[in-house]
Amino acid sequence: MAVRKQTAPTKAPSRTAPRRSVKAPPAPPGGRLIDRDESWLQFNSRVLEEADDASNPLLERVKFLAITASNLDEFVEIRVAGVLQRLEEGLNLPHHVDAGGLTQNERMQRVRDRLHQFNNDQASCWNDRLVPELKRAGISVLAWKQLRKPDREFVIKFFQEQVDPLLTPVTLDPSHPFPRVLNKALCLAVLLRHKRKLKSGTSPKILGVITIPRSLPSLIALPEHKGQRNFLLLEELIEAHIDTMFRGYSILNRTAFRVTRNSNLYMQEEEARSLLETVAEELHNRRKGDAVRMEIDAFASEEIAERLRINFELEPWQVFRTSAPINLSRLMSLYSAAKLPALKFTEFHGRRLHLDQSTKPPTNIFAALRNEDILLHHPFDSYSTVEDFIASAAADDNVISIKQTLYRTSADSTIFSALKAAAETKDVTVVVELMARFDEASNIRWARELEDAGVQVFHGIFGFKTHCKLALIVRRDSDGIVRSYAHLGTGNYNPVTSRFYTDISLLTARPELTDAVLRVFRYLTADWEAGPNAYRPLLVAPVTLHSDLLALIAREAEHALTGKPARIIAKMNGLLDVPTIDALYSASQAGVEIDLIVRGMCALRPGIPGLSDHIRVRSIIGRFLEHSRIFFFANGGPDDGGQSEMFCGSADWMTRNLYERCEVVFPMVDPALKRRLREEILDCYLRDNLKARLMTPDGSYERAPKSVPALSAQQYLMELSRSPEKRLTRDKTAVVESTPAEEAESVLSKEQSGL
Statement to judge: residues 293 and 385 lie in one domain: no
Looking at residue 171, its amino acid is: T
Active site residue 467: yes
For residues 173 and 212, is the Cβ–Cβ distance under 8 A?
no
Q: Is 695 part of any domain?
A: yes
Confidence at 356, pLDDT banded by 50, 70, 90? low
Does the pLDDT of residue 91 top 90, yes or no?
no
Q: Is 348 part of any domain?
A: no
Confidence at 37, pLDDT banded by 50, 70, 90? very high
Strands (E), 212-289: 219-221, 229-233, 249-261
Does the pLDDT of residue 270 top 80, yes or no?
no
Domain boundary among 474, 499, 526: 526
Of the listed ranges 47-61, 94-108, 495-509, 588-602, the one predicted with least confidence: 94-108
Statement to judge: residues 423 and 508 lie in one domain: yes
Does the pLDDT of residue 365 top 90, yes or no?
yes
Q: Look at residues 256, 221, 247 and name the one whose alpha carbon lies nearest to residue 169.
A: 247
Instruction: Give the domain CATH number at 450.
Output: 3.30.870.10
Looking at residue 738, its amino acid is: S
Task: Determine the pLDDT at residue 96.
Answer: 63
Statement to judge: residues 374 and 488 lie in one domain: yes
Statement to judge: residues 377 and 265 lie in one domain: no
Q: Is 112 part of any domain?
A: no
Looking at residue 197, its amino acid is: K
Bridge partner residues of 673 (DSSP): none
For residues 1 and 262, the model is more confident at: 262
The Cβ of residue 585 has, within 10 Å, a number of other Cβ atoms equal to 24
Helices (H) and strands (E) in the chain, counts: 22, 29
Averaged pLDDT for residues 184-195: 92
Task: Determine the pLDDT at residue 641.
Answer: 66
For residues 387 and 416, is the Cβ–Cβ distance under 8 A?
no
Confidence at 403, pLDDT banded by 50, 70, 90? very high
The Cβ of residue 638 has, within 10 Å, a number of other Cβ atoms equal to 12
Task: Determine the pLDDT at residue 438.
Answer: 54
What three-state secondary structure class fits 508? strand
Does the pLDDT of residue 734 top 60, yes or no?
no
Does the pLDDT of residue 12 top 50, yes or no?
no
Q: Is 54 part of any domain?
A: no
Of the listed ranges 374-383, 582-591, 704-713, the one predicted with least confidence: 704-713
Does the pLDDT of residue 461 top 70, yes or no?
yes
Task: Determine the pLDDT at residue 8.
Answer: 39
Of the listed ranges 27-41, 87-101, 213-227, 248-262, the one predicted with least confidence: 87-101
Domains identified in the chain, total number = 3
Task: Determine the pLDDT at residue 361.
Answer: 60
| Torsion 359-363-369-374 (CA) sign | positive
Statement to judge: residues 230 and 178 lie in one domain: yes
Q: Is 18 part of any domain?
A: no
For residues 722 and 72, the model is more confident at: 72
Statement to judge: residues 381 and 508 lie in one domain: yes
Domain boundary among 475, 495, 526: 526
CA–CA separation, 28 vs 544, rounded Å? Answer: 32
Task: Determine the pLDDT at residue 29.
Answer: 64
Does the pLDDT of residue 19 top 50, yes or no?
no
Task: Determine the pLDDT at residue 726.
Answer: 57
Q: Is 473 part of any domain?
A: yes
Domain boundary among 477, 503, 526: 526
Q: Is 554 part of any domain?
A: yes
- Burial annotation 365-392 (CB, 10 A radius, 16+ → b, else e): bbbbbeeebbbbbbbbbbbbbbbbbbbb
State which residues form the domain around 640. 538-753
Confidence at 504, pLDDT banded by 50, 70, 90? very high
Task: Determine the pLDDT at residue 469.
Answer: 96
Confidence at 748, pLDDT banded by 50, 70, 90? very low
Statement to judge: residues 553 and 610 lie in one domain: yes
Q: Is 471 part of any domain?
A: yes
Cβ burial of 646 (10 Å; 0-12, 13-18, 19+) is: buried
Following DSSP, what letter does each residue of 380-417 receive, concatenated?
TB-THHHHHHHHHHHH-TTEEEEEEEESS--TT-HHHH
User: What is the per-residue pLDDT across 540-554, written as a single tens digit (0 to 9) for each?
Assistant: 999 999 999 999 999
CA–CA separation, 515 vs 372, rounded Å? Answer: 17
Task: Determine the pLDDT at residue 535.
Answer: 94
- Which of 377, 378, 459, 467 is catalytic? The answer is 467
Confidence at 272, pLDDT banded by 50, 70, 90? very low
Averaged pLDDT for residues 673-691: 95
Which range scores top for mean pLDDT: 14-18, 412-416, 695-699, 704-708?
A: 695-699
Following DSSP, what letter does each residue of 352-387 receive, concatenated?
PP----SSSSPP-HHHHHHH--EEEEETTB-THHHH
Averaged pLDDT for residues 653-667: 96
Confidence at 433, pLDDT banded by 50, 70, 90? confident
Statement to judge: residues 191 and 227 lie in one domain: yes
